[in-house]
Amino acid sequence: MQVFNNPFHKLDIPANTELPHLFTYPFHYTPHPLCLQAATRVQDYLASRTDWEKELQQGKMFGVLVVKSPEEGIGFLAAFSGNLCGMNKIPYFVPPIYDLLSPNSFFPEEEEIINKMNQDINRLVNNPDYLFLKEKINKKYHEIESELTSFRQEMSRAKANREEKRKLSPSKEELADMIRESQFQKAELKRKERKAKEDINNIQQDINRYEEIINRLKTERHQRSIDLQMRLFRAFRIRNARGEERDLVEIFQDTPQRIPPAGAGECAAPKLLQYAYLNGYQPLAMAEFWWGDSPKSELRRQGHFYPACRGKCLPILSFMLQGLNVEPDPLVVEAATHHEPTIIYEDEWLAVVVKPAGMLSIPGRSHAESVQTWARNKYPSANGPLVVHRLDMATSGLLLIAKTKAIHQNLQAQFKNKTIRKRYVALLDGRPAKAKGVISLPLAPDPLDRPRQMVSEAHGKPALTRYEVLNNDDPSPGFTRVAFYPLTGRTHQLRVHAAHPEGLNSPIVGDALYGKPAARLYLHAEQLEFIHPQTNQQISLESKADF
């Protein structure tokens, strides 16, 4: 057995506690009571480490894995993602899958070489002679441009003067003089341009000597970085419950990205499973929680549990869980449950239905029923895409269905022109600071954890939401009922705007991505107003939420 200061922690099991029958599906779960107990123990430990307070305040993901040991009984393992206080080996926690900080690792030596190359590049880029030459060539460009512009203006004036003289019937000698003047000026312009090009080339040659070295170092640095990263990925030998082993390159080779992202294999979940497999522990349940401040772009709350990230961990955990009996994906189970939209308006051109929570708007990767497939069966003679807009699977409420392509195009144009009005009602876990207002936070997909969205000033698209608190005392203390009026239609807009600290700082109840899981996501599209494409009448419909 491999031992690293024995990171196995015994759990006190209440008499009525039922052990998990299936292992946790890590991408959508409700933490098992034993995971909650283990997480509390880890959080108490973190609170006791006052020497880590500043580091922990910056925020980090931690994980717990409840395991069964043949000798020690039921206990848990703990891990952190990445490094903690500049270390990747801390006695309370399991060790990394591959210790890239070890003096025996190839990584520190190669990283030192790359760091030295960075220093060499920075010295060359900031070399006073190089900077002087770049400033010199810029000044020369301005001088040449000014001189040539002035000379061309002089040529234009001379040409205009010659045109005036030609109107006065000049003699042959005068015409010859004008031709010679024009030819001389054209030749002089070419001489000036050649001289300017020579002056620029002379300076540029001196600059090129520096830039050839800089570019050569950058190319070598880039290749060394790629080689180091690939070598590192090969060093991460990942186990699964069957005892099979693959490196990260092999695991990611059949994924869309093909190349593992930076930091792959260093998250808490893979560390936990790897240690359990290597040491003969039987994994029972797992959970990951955030500790510390939230990053500015992402939404993380201290003590809240979060699913494993998909960009880094989905391929890794999909391999590592092979051989375990794992819970089915709750979202797939929910989507496969029989749902039936309720029609609240219908005529020969369109219909408006109430989509139940848990039903897809359009077909997904599973074969679960969606409003689109339901509508295709309901209206077999309809042409066009049918569903005009979408609601998240977890969101309930009003959805427009067009029975013809022309009606569909008209309604989509109304959405594009922002003439369709929508009102959502939600239950928030918290109290917004203001009773009403407008939230403006640009949103972009999180490339490493889709479908999560992140707030990004640099890469996000504008997202605006008007909101209004409906009743601060309804339905219970700590919860707030609010109306949302989305002015744009970004993915997860209302969910992020509700949860983000710069938004309402109050996640929607049941939001497993940005808040805490519950029986459902308490978000419902309750009002819809649009102009009927055929009758040109204003249609206003309402469906009250059942919460």
Q: Which residue has the tokens 């090129």?
A: 208
- Backbone phi, psi, residue 336, to 5°: -80, -15
Alpha-carbon distance values, 298 to 30, 287, 394, 431 (Å): 21, 19, 20, 20
Q: How do beta strands 342-346 and 60-69 pair?
A: unpaired
Total length of the chain: 547
Can you tell me the distance from the alpha carbon of 342 to that of 397, in angstroms, rounded to the nearest whole number? 10
Task: Specify the DSSP element, H or E, that contains 177.
Answer: helix 172-235
Alpha helix ranges (H) inside 73-127: 106-125
CB contact set of 21 (below 8 Å; sequence gap of 6+): 325
Structure token pair of residue 337: 């449950």
Q: Is the peptide bond prior to 70 cis by the omega test (within 30 degrees of 0)?
A: no
Can you tell me the distance from the alpha carbon of 346 to that of 354, in angstroms, rounded to the nearest whole number? 12
* Half-sphere exposure (Cβ direction) of 112: Cα atoms closer than 13 Å: 8
Structure token pair of residue 231: 């070598």
SS3 of 155, please? Answer: helix
- Does the active-site annotation cover 392? yes
Can you tell me the distance from the alpha carbon of 162 to that of 179, in angstroms, rounded to the nearest whole number? 9
Can you tell me the distance from the alpha carbon of 4 to that of 92, in angstroms, rounded to the nearest whole number? 9
Catalytic residue among 12, 254, 392, 473: 392
Can you tell me the distance from the alpha carbon of 140 to that of 217, in angstroms, rounded to the nearest whole number? 28
- Backbone phi, psi, residue 367, to 5°: -95, 25
CB 221 within 8 A of CB 114: yes
Can you tell me the distance from the alpha carbon of 21 to that of 326, in angstroms, rounded to the nearest whole number? 9
Cα–Cα nearest to 424, from 328, 281, 527: 527
CB 505 within 8 A of CB 430: yes
CB atoms within 10 A of CB 299: 27
Can you tell me the distance from the alpha carbon of 75 to that of 42, in angstroms, rounded to the nearest whole number? 12
Q: Which residue has the tokens 């040991």?
A: 69
Q: Which residue has the tokens 């903690």?
A: 84
CB contact set of 407 (below 8 Å; sequence gap of 6+): 349, 350, 384, 533, 534
Structure token pair of residue 338: 């029989």
Can you tell me the distance from the alpha carbon of 348 to that of 406, in angstroms, rounded to the nearest whole number? 13
CB contact set of 258 (below 8 Å; sequence gap of 6+): 252
Can you tell me the distance from the alpha carbon of 23 to that of 325, in angstroms, rounded to the nearest whole number? 6
Active site residues: 392
